[in-house]
A and B are shown apart, each in its own frame.
Chain A
């Protein structure tokens, strides 16, 4: 029962955070020098058009009233018009966001799976050559920004060796599956269109790995250091002294407690992945909401910027709640923490 109150409190807390975030974004969009209405219709428009639009956008009323209208519209899914695409921002997001989601989820799986695997490998062979090699690679991962990885991968695998495609989500010849979830790999699986599935997967590899390198490095470093710390704990020495074979200790009694810190920073690393998506999508011409975000930012398209950042915030909060639940299931100390008696 205490775990459910823990989750409910966590969700309520996130709603407040989201509200706070919407205020921050609203303030950002309003401190812009110049009149948003003029920006919307362009410099050559006649004055009366600008005045009419200002009234519609409630620009003449005090800031908090403007915020109220903006929030009310946002809650109804109306994020205003985008200057770049001349369409409601909500529609743009519906079209572009699934691509970013697919890319970041793919990177997320590589990051979690690969990170934990590499972490275990280097912890098991601690201080042997394989451990040092993996540590150097993971170090490079932490240090190099993903857009540099993206360029190197583009250069090496894309152009020089030409193993993998470097543009868009599907090769021109392949017919895309019907959009159910918007994620091509999932849709093609659901509709049984295997060629599209493998082609989409092939397109995902380069940008996905470039995006995941940073997180992969962090995850493996955390797994490795937690495992080597836990090796010295009493419950491991006690398990050894009771005759439990080393293999079982490593696989079971050491691994599970060591995964908890790894998974709890997964939320943070996933945030890093979403942020870097902005750059990787530009380099790989990936039609995601982040590339859309960059274009709108360059052209100061306020409503679109607000829409992109808000969606990013929502996804990040949802991911964090999921991570907290998984950690709660894994670690009884959180789930069943007894009342703090005197």
Chain B
């Protein structure tokens, strides 16, 4: 009666077939592919900035008044700023700051936010749920940028403190998302059945409920990458994020503001860079939602 177990291993064809099905749903909307390519390009430029940028030295302390305020030309595709630094190269390095901001904030925010949301969602009707959700409500009572500004202003302004400020502000959004999901899943019969079997709380929260929340969390993470970069640029713009001479995209836009409209390229190109990065992550996020949402049905 015992059956040869090895023959029952998960057939390779099954995994490939799943991949094919997901790619089909992801790529049905061409914009998602545009998003994916944009993100890959930005990541490539950020990682290989020193090799790829035409003037890597311009990203640091560098002065070249001879070539200051040149409009876009063959030697400087995006022109130079008032101190003669090539804007294109600085944008490549600027991508580094944006991506680090996004990755660091998300890795600081998602684990605690999701765990608190799961615990609150599972322990419905108990004081644990009330405490966690009330604290979340407080943080969500004020727009994230405002509180981030407040925290930044208190700390010495630099990229690291900006990341801390945004992270302090951002975890409640995940707690509320996962709380919503977990509190409905909590009443599904497969959870009741696991409890009746005597499964541990840990198993129920992390092995039964969490897998059903993965796709909405993943979709939100890719959309939030865009939001966090946007927020970082805003902080830098008002001088609370990346400090000159480091090439933060927001800082560059703010730096060029007083030279408008004559030397428009100093602000416009970094602004476009921000839009491109944020657009890329948004399109990627929507594509992921289409791919993963169909899973729910």
Contacts and interface: CB of A to CB of B under 8 A. Distances in A.
B138 A148 contact: no
B122 interface: no
A17 B134 CA distance: 7
Contact of A148 (B149, B239, B253): B253
B49 interface: no
B21 to A, nearest CB: 23
A140 B278 CA distance: 10
A275 B257 contact: no
A31 B134 contact: no
Contacts of B226: 143
A297 B148 CA distance: 11
A334 interface: no
B142 interface: yes
Given A20-B134, A279-B238, A309-B147, A155 B139 contact: no
B141 A278 contact: no
B152 interface: yes
A139 B274 CA distance: 14
A277 B168 CA distance: 21
Interface stretch (B52-60, B104-112, B197-205, B259-267): B259-267
B145 interface: yes
Given A144-B278, A145-B233, A312-B146, A24 B139 contact: yes
B234 A279 contact: yes
A167 interface: no
Contacts of B278: 143-145
Contacts of B151: 28
A144 B282 CA distance: 11
B253 A294 contact: no
Contact of A275 (B134, B143, B152, B261): B143
Interface in B129-161: 134-135, 137-139, 141-147, 149-154
Contacts of B149: 278, 293-294, 297
Interface string A305-326: 1001100110011000000000
Interface string A120-163: 00000000000000000001101111011001101100011000
Q: Chain A contact residues (Cβ within 8 angstroms of B): what range?
A: 35 or more
A18 B134 CA distance: 11
Given A148-B253, A313-B142, A282 B154 contact: no
A249 B164 CA distance: 50
B238 A282 contact: yes
B217 interface: no
Contacts of A31: 154
B279 A145 contact: no
B120 interface: no
A155 B138 contact: no
B271 A148 contact: yes
A4 interface: no
Contact of B152 (A18, A142, A297): A297
Interface in A12-52: 13-14, 16-18, 20-21, 24-25, 28-29, 31-32
A298 interface: yes
Contacts of B144: 275
Contacts of A152: 271
Contacts of A148: 253, 271, 274-275
A148 B150 CA distance: 22
A107 to B, nearest CB: 13
Given A147-B253, A148-B271, A159-B261, A16 B143 contact: no
B100 to A, nearest CB: 19
Contact of B141 (A18, A147, A274, A293): A18
A232 to B, nearest CB: 13
B154 A151 contact: no
Contacts of B209: none
A145 B276 CA distance: 11
Contact of A155 (B137, B145, B240, B261): B261
A32 B268 CA distance: 36
Interface string B275-290: 1001100100000000
A211 interface: no
Given A148-B274, A275-B146, A29 B237 contact: no
Nearest to B144: A275
B51 to A, nearest CB: 29
Closest 10 CB pairs of A and B: A297-B153, A20-B138, A275-B143, A275-B145, A271-B143, A148-B271, A143-B279, A159-B261, A313-B142, A17-B141
Given A21-B141, A148-B275, A305-B154, 19 more contacts: A24-B138, A140-B279, A143-B226, A143-B282, A145-B278, A151-B271, A155-B264, A283-B257, A293-B149, A294-B238, A298-B239, A300-B153, A300-B154, A309-B146, A312-B142, A312-B143, A312-B146, A316-B141, A316-B143
